[in-house]
Structure 1
Amino acid sequence: MLTVADYLAQPAVPPDARIPYGNDPSQFGDLYLPDPSYPAPVIVMIHGGCWQAAYDLAPLGECCAALRAAGYAVWSLEYRRLGNGGGWPQTFHDVAAGVDHLRVLAGTYPLNLARVIAVGHSAGGQLGLWLAARPKLPATSALTTPDPLPIHGVVALAAVANLAQGVTATACGAACAELVAHDPRRYAEASPHLLVPLGVPHYHLIGSDDSIVPAAYVAAFVAAARQAGDTAHLTILPRCGHFELTTPHSAAWPAVVGAIREMG
C-alpha cells in the first residue's frame, strides 16, 4: 500500500496556467488544458489532507496531467484550510468561489461548462459532494452563495462524506468537527450525509484496505444516498489503500478514469 510519504513524493507536474480566483494566497487554481481546438469537459479536482494547511494540491499534479491527456480540462483548486485561515465558513466559500470562477475562465479557455464533474479525494471528496448539494442550502445559511455553477456529477475517491461519523470512523478524526468550528448543528449544511439526495449521480471508489477512510464507512454513505433517491455507485477496489486512487500508475487508476467516463 502507498503511504502518506509516497503520496507527498509524487512528481510535481506544472499546470498550463495558475490562476487566482480571490485575493488570499490560497485562493487559486491550477488549470490543465487538453487539445484547445474544442470546448473540453471540465474536472474540478479537489485535494484532500483532512482540510489541513499542511497538505496542498501539489501531489495531484501527475493525476491532473493524466486526466488532461485523457481529454479533460482540469481545474485543480487550492483553498484555505485549517491552520491558514480556513474552516467555517471560509473553506466552503473558497471551493464555491473557485468553481464559480469557471464562468470567467470560459471567456478565455475552451471549457464546456455543461459538463463539469467534481472529483475529490478524501476530505476533498466531502467538498466535491458538498458542491453538488449547495444549490439546496437555505438562503439563511452562512455557506449559501448566489447562482452556483451546476455540477454534472461527482466522483468521490475515499470521501469523508459523513462528518459526524468521520470524527471516530476516519483518520481525519477531530478535523471533521473543527471544519464546522465544533458546532454539530452545522453538519446539516456541511456534511453530504445530511444533504442527500444530492440530485446528481455520484460514483464512490474506495480501497478494500484503506486504513484512513474505511470501505464500510463509504458503503454506509452510498446506502443512505440510494435510500434518499440518489443515483449512487460504489466500487470497492481489492488490495487498494487510500492513495492509489490518485496515482496514475497504480492498478486502481483505470477504475477512477472509468468512473469519470461514465459521467460523460
Structure 2
Amino acid sequence: MKRCAALVLATALSIGPAAADPVELSAFRDLPRPEPTVQVAYGEAPAQQVDVFLPAGPGPYPVAVLIHGGCWSAVTAGREQMRHIGAELARRGIAVWSLGYRRADEAGGGYPGTYRDVGAALDRLAEDAPTRRLDLSRVVLAGHSAGGHLALWAASRGSIPATSPLHGSPRFVPRAVISLGGVGDLATFARFVPVLCGPGIVERLAPTDKLAEVSPAALMPSAGAVVMVSGVLDRLVPPWVADDYARALKGKSATGPRLVNVPDAGHFDLVTPSTPAWQEVLGLIEAALEAR
C-alpha cells in the first residue's frame, strides 16, 4: 500500500496541473447511445446478448470486441453503456461485437457464470462471422474497467487447466487485447473492490481458491499484443494497477504488456469520444487491426 501511495504521489508531482478536468461518471452516463444494427442472444438471460454494429459496405470487416465495465455489478448499466463507442467505430469501418454478461450479483453470474458468458459470446462471434461478414483474422478485444479484466481473461482462457469449468479452446486469436483502465492482477486489487464496488462482489467473482483461473496475472495471454491503457488522473483504477499486472507477467512471456499512460485523463476519458484520451485509444485499435 505504501508503494502504491508513493507512486500516485510521484505521478501527481511530475505531471503538473491538468489541461482539462477528467470526465465524470455523470457526464459519461449522459452521452447519447445509438441503437445497434442488431442484437444477438447467446443465452436466455437478458444480459446474455451482444450489440452488433456493422459498417456500411460489403465487408469483410475488421472487428472490435467491446466488453463493458461497471464494477462487475448489475447496479450499473450493461452493454448499453458502450453503444456510443460501437457507433463511433462502425462509422470508421470497424464492426463491433459488444457483449453483455451476467454480473457477479446476478443470478447465474460470478464464478463460473460470468466467465462462461464471455467465452460463449466470443464463440458465438466465431459462429456468426461468415454470415455477418466479419474477418476473424482482424479482431481486437477492448474492455473498459471491469471489462478490461474480462478482456484480459478472455485473451488468456486458453491457458486455463483442462480440469477447470472455465477451460475452453478459443476459436480465434485476437491481434491485440486492449485494457482501458482495467484490472489484470485480481490478487493485488481484490482489497479495493469492496470499497469501489460494494460488498460481496469479489467473493462471488473471484473466490480465493479460484484466483488462478480468473486473474489474468496468473494466466498466459495468447493475443498478438497486450496493451494496458491508464489515465494518469484515474482515481478508480490508477496506473499502478497496470504496472502490477506487467510485473506479474515478467518471465512468463518473451514480450510483456505495453503500458500507455494518458496524461490529463481520468477513468471515463478513455471511453468518451470527445476527449484526447479516446483519440489515443482509437489509434491503438486501428493500428492493431491494420497491422500485418
The answer to whether TM tops 0.5 is yes
2:163: which partner in 1?
Answer: 140
For residue 199 of structure 1, report the CA deviation from its aligned partner: 5.3
1:192-220 CA distance string (max 9 Å, x none): 11113545311111001101001112122
1:5-42 CA distance string (max 9 Å, x none): 22222212110001111122211100001123121111
For residue 261 of structure 1, report the CA deviation from its aligned partner: 2.1
1:203: which partner in 2?
Answer: 227
Partners of 2:222 and 2:40 lie apart in 1 by: 29
Does the alignment pair 1:111 with 2:134? yes
Partners of 2:273 and 2:218 lie apart in 1 by: 32
For residue 243 of structure 1, report the CA deviation from its aligned partner: 0.4
1:243: which partner in 2?
Answer: 268
For residue 82 of structure 1, report the CA deviation from its aligned partner: 2.1
**Counterpart pick for 1:194 among 203, 218, 222:** 218
Paired residue type of 2:42: Y
1:208-249 CA distance string (max 9 Å, x none): 110100111212212333542234111111111000101111
Partners of 2:84 and 2:150 lie apart in 1 by: 21
SS of corresponding position for 1:220: helix
SS of corresponding position for 1:165: helix
Paired residue type of 1:206: S
TM-score by length of 1: 0.93
CA contact (8 A) 1:205 1:236 kept: yes
SS of corresponding position for 1:11: coil
Q: Which runs of 4+ in 1 moved over 6 A?
A: none
Does the alignment pair 1:221 with 2:245? yes
Does the alignment pair 1:17 with 2:42? no
Where structure 1 has 5 or more consecutive residues not aligned to the other structure, the ranges are none
1:148-183 CA distance string (max 9 Å, x none): 443332011011111121123463475333302xx2
1:153: which partner in 2?
Answer: 176
Residues 132 and 72 from structure 1, CA distance in 2 versus in 1: closer, same or farther, beyond 3 angstroms? Answer: same
SS of corresponding position for 1:113: strand
CA contact (8 A) 1:164 1:177 kept: no
Structure with the largest fraction of helix: 2
SS of corresponding position for 1:156: strand
Residues 199 and 27 from structure 1, CA distance in 2 versus in 1: closer, same or farther, beyond 3 angstroms? Answer: closer
Identity of aligned residues (%): 36
Partners of 2:173 and 2:223 lie apart in 1 by: 11
Per mean C-alpha deviation after superposition, the further-off stretch among 164-173 and 147-156 is 164-173
For residue 146 of structure 1, report the CA deviation from its aligned partner: 4.7
Where structure 2 has 5 or more consecutive residues not aligned to the other structure, the ranges are 1-21
**Counterpart pick for 2:70 among 49, 53, 72:** 49
Number of aligned positions between the proteins: 262
